[in-house]
Amino acid sequence: MAESMHAKRTDRCGNLRREDVGRTVTLCGWVAKRRNLGSLLFIDLRDVSGVAQITFDDTVDKGLFDKANGVRSEYCLCVTGKVRERGTDENKKMATGAIEVLAERLSILSKSETPPFEITGDCNAGEELRLKYRYLDLRRTEIKDCLVLRHKVCKIARDYYDANGFLEIETPMLCKSTPEGARDYLVPSRLHHGSFYALPQSPQLYKQLLMVAGYDRYMQIARCFRDEDLRADRQPEFTQIDLEMSFVDVDDVITVNEGFLKKVFKEVLSVDLKLPLPRMPYREAMDRFGSDKPDLRFGFEIKDITEIAAASDFKVFRDAVEQGGTVRGININGFADKISRKEIDSLTEFAKTYRAKGVAWLKFQGGEISGSFAKFITDEEKLKIASAFGAGGNDLILIVADKPKTVFASLGALRCEIAKRLGVIKKDDYKLLWITEFPLFEYSEEEERYVAMHHPFTSPMDEDKDMIESAPDKVRAKAYDIVFNGVEAGGGSIRIHDADLQERMFRAIGISEREARVKFGYLLDAFTYGVPPHGGMAYGLDRLIMLLADTQSIRDVIAFPKVQNASELMTESPSEVPEKSLLELGIKLADEK
């Protein structure tokens, strides 16, 4: 039977320390562990702050001891007792390990079924089971620590941006659908049959309208929705720390955000970030790392050997260059002896998933040069390649010859994969940088037109504006991403605030004047009433927390996450709704084929 609390809670379990010795405390929590040693019985009582050891002594109170003996894992208890020193039994691994509470009273607030999995750190239950019983999974310290960290970062964000003059303003959840970008989550309207709201993919247009309205520094911790097929680190609903500023250019946005990052790193990880953070133009990042989110915790930089390759007798290289391709590689310096032929084959298979047709290699070991194409090139060419990579000693060069896109994608992925396999990434190494000068457009093969790489409101760089019509692929944007250990943690841009330029931008991506009016008429109208120069950015909060917590799964940092097929296992959403609800919405389901 459930009992009431016999006294008011005085403390949280995890907060008790040696200074509390002698106090009589009342704790409430769940049974993490129970050990009966004959005349002594120990219960580790857990609440959100941590765990305290409660001791029941048979010789002090037999009735109480017997009651405690009937308690099982995850029972919810209220315990009163005196804090005493553990002395030589101190457990240095526990925050409360110096003390224990000698129980005087015990109420069983409620019993618990045997949990479907053990609620411990090294819990080896499958994720599906853990997510079905997420409320039990959330009791685990590992998940709880992530949520506490998340809370801290949100608080730092609110405090920091507030101190810098930002106002937190909420924007709507029921919005107008904007087909540009990812797929919208649609919400049918009951009052307007056949019409739909969209859940926001981001507060982008509203925050720009707030700038027109004169709220010159805005921030929001905003939920966003994108109905896309999920990748491992994506969720259909996710959270952004979103902000926008007026009367600014790129440097201003970056500077204010570096201040935020510095505070987060200091307060959460006790790490002093050195400011300003490095910046790297997109082009350089692609050339050196094959990625617009380079991981700088290790080297293996990409080098271009197209010229040497084009002049060689090696047909694979020559053909690739003749077809407009490029020949580049990475030097896994100092690791030739650690990468066997079998490993190279496996890396080649890996590169093929990035469309590379193969990987050519050269090994430098004991003064000898060997490799997949060593016999097709002259000694002089070998030396030229060695010098291009600064290779010698115990080095392995991996080369891909293909279309530039394939070469960058496969080498970029290879350098990360190899670093992971070799275990060269140090723990607690934090490498942050800004990637700047992104291309304004990217060509969509699927749609056979240029599309905005960031979004259509992103401003081109001043010196590139004239090329929008003549050389769209050369135009760089005032766009920037913050990259954290090889992951994009956020990004944004300075926006277009000039009607003519906006019109040229729409035209360049094939949006007619009429279409622009239908989709964004309200924004274009607003821009006729005095629009300040403005720009901003958004952090992916979930990803940021995942990086700070150094956890592998984005689901660890979200209280109630969805799984790969966008369903929630605990509530079993999405679910069918009664016919009546559909009728109200004017919706009839199509017959399933």
Candidates 85-93, 185-193, 208-216, 531-539: pick the segment binding ligand ASP (CB under 6 A).
531-539
**Half-sphere exposure in the Cβ direction for 14 (13 Å, CA):** 13
Q: Which of residues 488-517 bind ligand ASP (CB under 6 A)?
A: 491-493
* Nearest of 240, 144, 265 to residue 541 by alpha carbon: 240
Residue 454 CB, nearest distance to ligand ASP (Å)? 6
Residue type, 253: V
Q: Which residue lies nearer to ligand ASP by CB, 209 or 336? A: 209
HEC string of 340-396 equals: CHHHHHHHHHHHHCCCCCCCEEEEEECCEEEECCHHHCCHHHHHHHHHHHCCCCCEE
The single residue among 108, 119, 435, 538 that binds ligand ASP, judged by CB under 6 A, is 538
Which tokens hold the place of 23? Answer: 């106090």
**436 is a contact residue toward ligand ASP (CB under 6 A):** no
Closest listed residue to residue 151, CA positions, set 267, 304, 277? 267
* Cα Rg, the chain, nearest whole Å: 30
Are the CB atoms for 362 and 373 separated by under 8 Å? yes
Q: How far is the CB of 206 from ligand ASP (least distance, A)?
A: 10
Fill in the per-residue mask, 453 to 492: x = in contact with ligand ASP (CB under 6 A), - = not in contact.
--------------------------------------xx
In the complex, the smallest distance separating the C-beta of residue 453 from ligand ASP, rounded to whole angstroms, is 11
* Binding of residue 202 to ligand ASP (CB under 6 A): yes
Closest to 134 in 3D by CA, of 119, 112, 151: 119
- Of the pair 372, 459, the CB lying nearest ligand ASP is at 459
Nearer to ligand ASP, 486 or 491 (CB): 491
Cα 41 to Cα 277: distance, rounded to the nearest angstrom: 55
In the complex, the smallest distance separating the C-beta of residue 184 from ligand ASP, rounded to whole angstroms, is 14
Q: Is 204 in the site for ligand ASP (CB under 6 A)?
A: yes
Axis-axis angle for helices 513-526, 204-212 (nearest 10): 50
- Count of residues in the chain: 593
> Which 315-354 residues touch ligand ASP, going by CB under 6 A?
none
The reply on whether position 29 binds ligand ASP by CB under 6 A is no
Judged by beta carbon, residue 325 or residue 492, the one nearer ligand ASP is: 492
From candidates 511, 537, 548, 554, binder to ligand ASP by CB under 6 A? 537
As measured in angstroms, the least distance from the Cβ of 226 to ligand ASP is 9
Q: Helix, strand, or coil here: 63?
A: helix
User: Is 472:521 a contact under the CB 8 Å cutoff?
Assistant: no
Which among 392, 383, 387, 389 is positioned nearest to 363, based on CA atoms?
A: 392
CA 19, CA 32: separation in Å to the nearest integer?
24
**Smallest distance from the beta carbon of 241 to ligand ASP, in angstroms?**
10
Nearest distance, CB of residue 553 and ligand ASP, angstroms:
22
CB nearer ligand ASP, residue 74 or residue 242: 242
Binding test (CB under 6 A) with ligand ASP, winner from 29, 329, 439, 536:
536
Please identify, using beta-carbon distances, which residue of 245 and 330 lies nearer to ligand ASP. 245
Residues that bind ligand ASP (CB under 6 A): 202, 204, 491-493, 536-538
